[in-house]
Structure 1
Amino acid sequence: MANDDDTRRHDGPLLVLTTWPDAEGARELARTLLHRRLAACVNILPPMTSLYIWDGSEECGEEHQIFIKTTSARFDAVRDAVAEAHPYELAELIAVPIVRGSPGYLQWIDESTS
């Protein structure tokens, strides 16, 4: 199982995923991340239905998927900002390394979060 001490840690750009229960809250998070230079871009998808088990019960709710383009260097600050603002007891927060992309776009992510 991977953890924060994983020696294979990626040092480049990241795509961080989280969900939010309402569009306005998602936009507020996006603005916070952008103004703090923690993200170059944040995409908020239309509502989707999420089904999951929580505290032993099946749950079903509407959420917005959020894609956050950032860098590994900014991940901890992104994680903290999401945790601080998120209304859930346990927020989804998944970081996916961006291993390839348009060089100019990847440079823009780096510059926008520096």
Structure 2
Amino acid sequence: MEAADPILWVYVTAADAAEAHRIGRALVEERLAACANLLPGHTAIYRWEGAIQEDAEAALILKTPASRFEALRARIRALHSYALPSILALPAADGDAEFMAWVRAQVAE
């Protein structure tokens, strides 16, 4: 993994804080994410199968290099309870060079 490998913030919603914790812990243990920030207790309002739904959820913000995103995405889908989990990768336009190097080092294969 080269230093130019861009860092991504990956936003994922989960059914509850326990699921977010389980997924986040697994991804860090498996070196697919450098860290996982859990954001419990929000409400999602969305359209699903033709009806407006409203559910309590939790969210994760994961940090990983772009080169690890596909493996991370596949693992999230395998661990997730949703048929269609929200997995959004957002590029970090800039950041502290030492922190970004740390992120890369944490997921080195």
Shorter-normalised TM range: over 0.9
Q: Report the residue type matching 1:105 in the other structure.
A: F
Q: Aligned ranges for residues 17-56 of structure 1 at < 5 Å?
A: 17-56=11-50
Q: Distance in 1 between matches of 2:21 and 2:43?
A: 19
The correspondence for 1:79, drawn from 39, 54, 73, is 73
Give, in whole Å, the separation in 1 of the partners of 2:29 and 2:105. Answer: 14
**Which among 96, 102, 105 is matched to residue 108 of structure 1?**
102
Of 1, 8, 14, which aligns to 1:14? Answer: 8
Letter in 2 for 1:92: S
- Rounded Cα–Cα distance in structure 2 between residues aligned with 1:70 and 1:48: 24
Letter in 2 for 1:47: G
5+ residue gaps in structure 1?
1-9
Query: Where in structure 1 do 4 or more consecutive aligned residues deviate above 4 Å?
Result: none
Contact 2:15/2:57 (8 A) holds in 1: yes
**What do you get for the CA RMSD once the two structures are aligned?**
1.2
Superposed displacement of residue 11, structure 1: 4.2
Shift of 1:46: 2.0
